[in-house]
Amino acid sequence: MQRSHLISYMSDVQNFEKNMNNLSGKWDLLTLLGSMSNIGMDTSETRKAFEDLLDEPLKRLIEETFNKSLNELESKAQTAIDILIRNLFERTADIGFLATDDDIRDYLLFLHSTDMSASDEKREIKIKKKEALTERFAEYVSKYSVYENIILLDTKGKVLVQLDHSNPITVSKDPLLQESLRTYQGYVETYRASDLTHHKPSLIYSYRVCNPKNDEPLGVLCLIFRFENELKSIFHKLTRDNPYIALELLSPYGEVIASSSAHHVPIGSNLPPRNNEDHQTYYTGFEYLYKAVKTTGYQGYNGSGWIGHAMVPLHLAFRSSSRSSFLKNDLFDRVANAKTYYPQELQDILDKAKKIQSELDITVWNGNVQIANSVGHESPFTKALLSEISKTGEETKRVFDHTVANLNTAMLIQYLEDLKFQSSLAIDIMDRNLYERANDCRWWALTTTFRECLSNINVSEENREKMNTILGYINGLYTVYSAMFIYDREGTIIAVSNPGDNAVIGKKVGYSWALETLELKTTQEYVVSAFESSPYYSNRSTYIYNACIRNFNEENVGGIGIVFDAESQFEAMLHDTLPKDDNHVIPEGMFALFIDRSGRVISTTTATIKVGEILHLPVSILELTPGQSDAQILPYNGTYYTLGATCSNGYREYKQSDGYDNDIIALLYRPIGEIQAIESEAPTQRVYTYPKANGTEETSEISTFFVGGSLFAIESKNVVCSLVHQELTSILHASEYNLGVISYEKRMVSVISLAKLLGMEKKYDKERDTIILVKAVIERQVVYLGLAVDAIYSSPEIPIRSISHYSNILKNENSLTKAVIIPDRAEDFGNEMISILDIPKIYLQLIQPYSHPMHKVMA
């Protein structure tokens, strides 16, 4: 898809284009000057090759810049709607369960069976029952703080009891009442203005309360969700790191029903979803980039068809982001700049640029050789022109290298930012889920039947069965628990939710958390076990949430324990937060963990790491403060990974003000590549600084090249040219150093492997290696020879004083080196010297014994 019209908003793309335009101007000039030189240097093909290649990184840079912003919008919009849907899924269970509450049923049955006008005594009883039920509603909301009001109505719409005394409603005509009385579903979900909520848009969960004996409706129960408060919390968390993004919740028709920036995108305004592939829109006269998404749902629940929507002004959508402080370390730089880890398409761009530069180097190198062999016709202008062409080629390739490196770095940064965000999402889902567990245990501890049964020191079999039945009913509705049990004031289990657990009835809970539970002072307190192996969870590790059961004299008479199904629930949470491709497949090698502050694994999505295993992680990860996130590149098990981490911070009062302290850290890992790969990557080519001649010194032209990482030289007068992509023909009975022959200007020329002469086992690679064609005069005959090298380097003119010939005493008669170049400073050559090869000697020792007349021509 063409996105060139967006370049004006993309500063990184503009900088790349500016650099390439500057280089294009240089190539124009060099092409003109090359055509005027005495060697007819034509750079037009090189220039065209670079310009053709330019389209690839430019398109990639535009796409990466665009996708980074769009992905951020999509991620935030998706998270907003999915987090909300997860929350509301819990609410659908709440209304169905609370509508069966015995206290609510008993109050309605009392009203139906009593003539309130009969006596003052009965009216007094009614008042007390209403006060008691109002207190029970208050207890519920104090635990499930996501609700702002609870309203109980009769079947005609008359308000019987409500928690919010400031709400003036006495009779409701809202259609949700009749729907709640007739529905075949387990709940009714309504979002709109209602007379139940001061005629303001509200989210209401309602359901009928029935007579348990004949299932006849007695009334309707309504839970008023703190909708605005919840969305404000979600939006704040998702926009705090990028305030330019506006988040909205839309109706299926595009009406804004919640907004992170209501003064900018007012509630009630319209942002109708569009089938717009560019994801661009106009709003209030400005251009925006936007993303609209539907929920992925949760356990089959998809809410009311709402849409998550995120938008950002186009002129702010592609701002260049600076590298975050957590990325500024040596390991990140090493990995980010290791070409081994580049995506294949980026490696292909570099390979193409390198090939173009290599061919240019050959042309320049051969041009310098041509000048060196043009006796009496040396041109300083042409020599300088060739040098400038070479420098411009190298500069062009550096721009490609730099751009590709930046693309790879940006990709790694995006991985890290994504993982950091996803880890915060994973821990948020955990906190929100466990918030509900803390609520559940405290609310169920207030069940009237439990309180009545445990008031007796000796629990009858009939009462035990009552409690078993209620626990079984609850456990059937709330499948996040593997088991539930009730223990008495001595800590002895007297009722269980699963008949299969009857064997534990009569046995004492031998854990400190049971004793702590029995000593709690209020109904707002609860106790959670450590994450440890438990016989109540088949000797697997989990959390058990506990609350004290008090009789009607406010005495502690027992406790309820609910066993969280940690293994499946935590793994599902982690799995849901792992990023997935368009086919909903998790990228290969990715995994996620929950750990505690010691590095002990709480949950895992990979079979290679077990629950209970201790991971050795940096202190910066293990000591994250609550709510803090981090991202790093870390080695693990022979592989480099990008890692995102976030420490839990609780939800609402959970872990914030309720006295419970248990820091958990979510980790998401994405593999980059094997550690050995970066270690084996070829080192960067060394830059050599040659000796410089003053204006009066005699000089010599040399041509240099690499073999096995070392630099060698030949006097340029002995060089014919360099050749690439040459096919070799093997010859029988040749020297072990002879790779074969090539054809050059109707001559057969033997090719020698300098690598083998140096004792290296290296095969000739026609795509990578270069053959230097050299000549020498032997016995008044010109002979030709090919030298296979790794790569040519440069053609400097150096002072004669820097060339040191071997003395006859030091020189071995079999030596193939005639002299060395001594640098002006030792560090110029990396404390080495450059050997100048003796071409006649190489020919006489390695070729002449196998020579054929076709190799020679008379001088």
| Residue range 288-339, pLDDT digits in tens | 999 999 999 998 999 999 999 999 999 898 886 544 555 567 888 888 888 8
755 φ, ψ to 5°?
Answer: -60, -45
DSSP 572: H
Q: Which residue has the higher pLDDT, 32 or 214?
A: 214
> Average pLDDT, stretch 801-818?
71
**Residues β-bridged to residue 312:** 289
Q: What is the 3-state secondary structure (H, E, C) of 244-278?
A: CCEEEEECCCCEEEEECCCCCCCCCCECCCCCCCC
DSSP 518-531: HT--STT--EE--S
Candidates 45, 51, 53; CA nearest to 363 is 45
**Residue 857 banded pLDDT, cuts 50, 70, 90:** very low
Among 321, 340, 362, identify where a domain stops: 321
- Strand, coil or helix: what is 306? coil
Quick check: 561 and 481 in contact, CB under 8 A?
no
Quick check: 660 and 528 in contact, CB under 8 A?
yes
CATH of the domain at 456: 3.30.450.20
- pLDDT digits 0-9 by tens, 186-199: 999 999 999 999 99
Q: Name, in order, each residue with C-beta under 8 angstroms of 780's C-beta and a sequence gap of 6 or more.
A: 858, 859
Residue 244 tokens read as 């330019």
Return the pLDDT at 24. Answer: 77
> Average pLDDT, stretch 708-716?
88
- pLDDT digits 0-9 by tens, 410-462: 889 989 999 999 999 999 999 999 999 999 999 999 999 999 999 988 899 99
Return the pLDDT at 767. Answer: 83
| Rg of the Cα atoms in the chain | 40
111 belongs to a structural domain = yes
Distance CA 452, CA 550 (A): 9
Residue 13 tokens read as 């793309």
Return the pLDDT at 854. Answer: 41
Return the pLDDT at 858. Answer: 36
Return the pLDDT at 379. Answer: 62
> Average pLDDT, stretch 13-40?
75
482 φ, ψ to 5°?
Answer: -85, -25
Candidates 413, 425, 324, 406; CA nearest to 672 is 413
Whether 712 and 564 share a structural domain = no
Q: Which of 94-103, 465-474, 684-693, 786-795 has the lowest mean pLDDT?
A: 684-693
CB atoms within 10 A of CB 487: 25
Among 510, 541, 568, identify where a domain stops: 568
**Amino acid present at 391:** K
Domain tally for the chain?
A: 3
- Strand, coil or helix: what is 786? strand
Return the pLDDT at 859. Answer: 34
**Residues β-bridged to residue 44:** none
378 belongs to a structural domain = no
**Range of the structural domain that residue 486 is part of:** 445-568
Q: Which residue spans within 164-297 are E strands per DSSP?
A: 188-193, 201-210, 217-225, 246-250, 256-259, 280-283, 286-294
Q: Which of 105-119, 123-137, 181-195 has the lowest mean pLDDT?
A: 105-119
Distance CA 564, CA 332 (A): 39
Identify the residue whose tokens are 């560019």. 278
Distance CA 247, CA 271 (A): 12
Residue 37 tokens read as 């030189």
428 belongs to a structural domain = no
Angle at 600 between CA 598 and CA 605, to 5 degrees: 140
Q: Which residue has the higher pLDDT, 682 or 836?
A: 836
Residue 739 tokens read as 């790779």
As a whole number, the mean pLDDT across the chain is: 88
Distance CA 309, CA 253 (A): 12
Q: Percent of the chain, pLDDT > 70?
A: 92
Among 542, 568, 594, identify where a domain stops: 568
414 belongs to a structural domain = no
- Strand, coil or helix: what is 465? helix
**Residue 38 banded pLDDT, cuts 50, 70, 90:** low
Return the pLDDT at 327. Answer: 58
Half-sphere exposure of 432 (CA within 13 A, CB side): 21
Return the pLDDT at 818. Answer: 86
770 belongs to a structural domain = yes
CB atoms within 10 A of CB 42: 13
- pLDDT digits 0-9 by tens, 374-417: 755 556 777 777 777 777 777 777 888 888 888 888 889 989 99
CATH of the domain at 833: 2.40.50.180
785 belongs to a structural domain = yes
| Residue 443: C-alpha distances to residues 473, 549, 572 (Å) | 15, 10, 26
419 belongs to a structural domain = no
Quick check: 706 and 791 in contact, CB under 8 A?
yes
Element (H, E) at 505: none
613 belongs to a structural domain = no
- pLDDT digits 0-9 by tens, 627-667: 999 999 999 999 999 999 999 999 999 999 999 999 999 99
**Amino acid present at 842:** I
**Residues β-bridged to residue 547:** 560
Residue 567 tokens read as 């293994």
Return the pLDDT at 147. Answer: 97
**Residue 169 banded pLDDT, cuts 50, 70, 90:** very high
- pLDDT digits 0-9 by tens, 666-687: 999 999 999 987 766 666 667 7
Candidates 322, 365, 498; CA nearest to 39 is 365
Return the pLDDT at 280. Answer: 87
706 φ, ψ to 5°?
Answer: -105, 140
498-521 CB burial, b ≥16 within 10 A, e <16: beebeebbeeebebebbebbbebe
Q: Name, in order, each residue with C-beta under 8 angstroms of 567's C-beta and a sequence gap of 6 or more.
A: 540, 542, 603, 611
pTM here? 0.85
